[in-house]
Amino acid sequence: MSTLKGRIALVTGASQGIGRACALELARHGASVALAARNVDKLAEVAAEIAAAGGTAHGFALDVASEESIKACAKAVTEHFGKVEILVNNAGITRDILALRMKRKDWDDVLMTNLTGAFLMTQAVMSSMVKNRWGRIINITSVVGETGQAGQSNYAASKAGLIGLTKSLARELGSRTITVNAVAPGYIETAMTAILTDEQKTAMTQHIPLGRVGSDSDIAHAVAFLASDAAAYITGHTLDVNGGMHMA
């Protein structure tokens, strides 16, 4: 498949999980992929995996909690690939604890990484999209950004904020043929959810009509679709990929 042939994509948090799956899927569709994360060794492994399949990818160090790192990464990607046409804001963290016991740093770290980091990365690369009058911005939010979740007030707030950011940017950038959408995963089997107990996993699965947890590839397929020309008339939308876990 080559529906994205010639396109340049940047995926944050691309060293593992959903970010890695998105990078592999975009490359499979023909895009050249800039892989960004803190762990450059893991990025090299993902780049090698893409190259072995005949694709093009290169790793870039990135800490989305640092504005300086974001600017340096965006500059390095642009110098290497010439531009960024597809941006997948995927990098994120959790600091789960009940609000009553939550420290200010737990709040600040999650909001800075998940929401402010996505905004700053978008701001750092959108000028090339505006100049070329084409772009795809895809923010990875979460079902808890729509439903809320006890013990995750910081994470849920950051992901709800991403949905608001998505809609606002869609209105600002639509006239430049730039679409801005979000993908909201439900319960996906990743390193982030691996810390859950078996009891928690069983309880969550019981609330999923399709009767199974999702995979990172389920999210990657949705991202590749929103990045393609097939989704050219979709913007400001949050695509729920949760097996029916939440039906708004």
Distance in angstroms (rounded) separating the CA atoms of residues 126 and 130: 6
Give, in order, the Cα–Cα distances in Å from 54 to each of 17, 27, 29, 63, 176.
21, 9, 11, 28, 32
Tell me which of 81, 107, 155, 187 is the catalytic residue.
155
Does 233 qualify as catalytic in the annotation?
no
The secondary structure element, H or E, covering residue 86 is: strand 86-89
Phi then psi dihedrals of residue 213, to 5 deg: -80, 160
10: amino acid identity, one letter: L
Pair 62, 36: CB distance under 8 Å: yes
Tell me how long the chain is. Answer: 248
Phi then psi dihedrals of residue 137, to 5 deg: -115, 125
Residues belonging to the active site: 155
